[in-house]
Amino acid sequence: MNSRLTVSTGCPSCGAPLDFTEGSHAIQCGHCRSRLLVTGRKQLLSYFISPKLDVHRAVAKALLALKEEGVECRVIEPRLYFIPYYRLTGHDFLWEKSAPKPKIEPIDLSAFSPDPPQADLTMTLQVASDFLGDLWEIGKKMYRGEDEPLSEPDESKPTGPIERKQPVVDLRRKGAAPASEEEEMTFRDRYVEKNFIACDLKGWGSYSLGVRAAVLRLELFRKEVLEAQGTIVGVTLSSEEALRQGMRKAEPENVLYRQVLGRVLSLIYFPFWVIRVQRQGEERLVFLDAVSERAVHSDAPISLLEFLGRPASGEAATVGFRPLTCPNCGWDLPFDPEDILFFCTSCARGWQIEGSALSPIDYQVVSPPAGAAVSRYLPFWVLQAEGEGNPPARFFLPAFRYRRLKLLGDLAKRLSKAQPVYTVSTAPFVPSQGGCYDSEDAASLARFTWAGMRGTQEMKPPEEKPFFVRSATLIWFPFQFEGNALRDPFTGMSLPQNLFV
Nearer residue to Zn ion within complex by CB, 347 or 430: 347
Nearer residue to Zn ion within complex by CB, 180 or 346: 346
Nearer residue to Zn ion within complex by CB, 319 or 383: 319
User: Cβ contacts of residue 192 below 8 Å, gap of 6+?
Assistant: 88, 89, 90, 91, 92, 147, 246, 260
Instruction: Give the nearest distance from C-beta 35 to Zn ion in angstroms.
Output: 10
Among 125, 225, 329, 424, binds Zn ion (CB under 5 A): 329
Nearer residue to Zn ion within complex by CB, 34 or 494: 34
* By CB under 5 A, residue 169 contacts Zn ion: no
Three-state DSSP state, 241:
helix
Q: Which of 32, 41, 30 is nearest to 8 (CA)?
A: 30
CA distance 429 to 475: 12
- Phi, psi (deg, nearest 5) at residue 20: -145, 165
Question: Among 21-29, 178-186, 227-235, 369-377, which window interacts with Zn ion (CB under 5 A)?
Answer: 21-29
Nearer residue to Zn ion within complex by CB, 181 or 332: 332
CA distance 134 to 156: 22
Task: Give the count of beta carbons closer than 10 Å to the beta carbon of residue 231.
Answer: 18
Nearer residue to Zn ion within complex by CB, 2 or 9: 9
Instruction: Give the nearest distance from C-beta 219 to Zn ion in angstroms.
Output: 17
Q: Quick one: CA dihedral 132, 188, 411, 104, positive or negative?
A: negative
Nearer residue to Zn ion within complex by CB, 11 or 285: 11
Nearer residue to Zn ion within complex by CB, 37 or 493: 37
Task: Give the count of beta carbons closer than 10 Å to the beta carbon of residue 367.
Answer: 14
Nearer residue to Zn ion within complex by CB, 256 or 344: 344
Question: Among 29-37, 76-84, 374-382, 432-440, which window interacts with Zn ion (CB under 5 A)?
Answer: 29-37
Among 29, 316, 442, 459, binds Zn ion (CB under 5 A): 29
**Cβ atoms 50, 335 nearer than 8 A:** no
Nearer residue to Zn ion within complex by CB, 34 or 208: 34
Length of the chain: 501
**Cβ atoms 495, 486 nearer than 8 A:** yes
Nearer residue to Zn ion within complex by CB, 319 or 486: 319
User: Cβ contacts of residue 245 below 8 Å, gap of 6+?
Assistant: 196, 237
Pick out residues in 31-70 that bind Zn ion (CB under 5 A). 31-32, 34
Question: Among 49-57, 154-162, 318-326, 365-373, which window interacts with Zn ion (CB under 5 A)?
Answer: 318-326
Q: What angle do CA 394, 395, 400 make, to 5 degrees?
A: 135
- x/- track of binding to Zn ion for residues 343-382 (CB under 5 A): -x-xx-----------------------------------
- x/- track of binding to Zn ion for residues 241-280 (CB under 5 A): ----------------------------------------
Three-state DSSP state, 175:
coil
Instruction: Give the nearest distance from C-beta 14 to Zn ion in angstroms.
Output: 3
Nearer residue to Zn ion within complex by CB, 19 or 241: 19
Instruction: Give the nearest distance from C-beta 348 to Zn ion in angstroms.
Output: 7
User: Cβ contacts of residue 5 below 8 Å, gap of 6+?
Assistant: 21, 22, 213, 214, 216, 217, 218
CA distance 153 to 370: 38
CA distance 213 to 319: 20
* By CB under 5 A, residue 326 contacts Zn ion: yes
- x/- track of binding to Zn ion for residues 224-243 (CB under 5 A): --------------------
Question: Among 27-35, 48-56, 59-67, 283-291, which window interacts with Zn ion (CB under 5 A)?
Answer: 27-35
Among 5, 11, 216, 291, binds Zn ion (CB under 5 A): 11
Instruction: Give the nearest distance from C-beta 400 to Zn ion in angstroms.
Output: 20
**Cβ atoms 217, 49 nearer than 8 A:** yes
Among 24, 229, 236, 328, binds Zn ion (CB under 5 A): 328
- Phi, psi (deg, nearest 5) at residue 127: -60, -45
Count of chain residues binding Zn ion (CB under 5 A): 15
Question: Among 16-24, 69-77, 408-416, 485-493, which window interacts with Zn ion (CB under 5 A)?
Answer: 16-24
- Which letter does DSSP use for residue 366 in this model? B
Instruction: Give the nearest distance from C-beta 9 to Zn ion in angstroms.
Output: 11
Q: Which of 312, 46, 307 is nearest to 200 (CA)?
A: 307
Instruction: Give the nearest distance from C-beta 358 to Zn ion in angstroms.
Output: 11
End-to-end CA distance of the chain: 18
Question: Among 67-75, 182-190, 321-329, 437-445, which window interacts with Zn ion (CB under 5 A)?
Answer: 321-329
User: Cβ contacts of residue 211 below 8 Å, gap of 6+?
Assistant: 135, 136, 139, 140, 142, 143, 292
Chain centroid to CA 62: how far?
Answer: 37
- Phi, psi (deg, nearest 5) at residue 370: -50, 130
* By CB under 5 A, residue 324 contacts Zn ion: no
Q: Quick one: CA dihedral 103, 151, 393, 447, positive or negative?
A: negative
Q: Write out the residues near Zn ion by the rule CB under 5 A.
A: 11, 13-14, 16, 29, 31-32, 34, 326, 328-329, 331, 344, 346-347
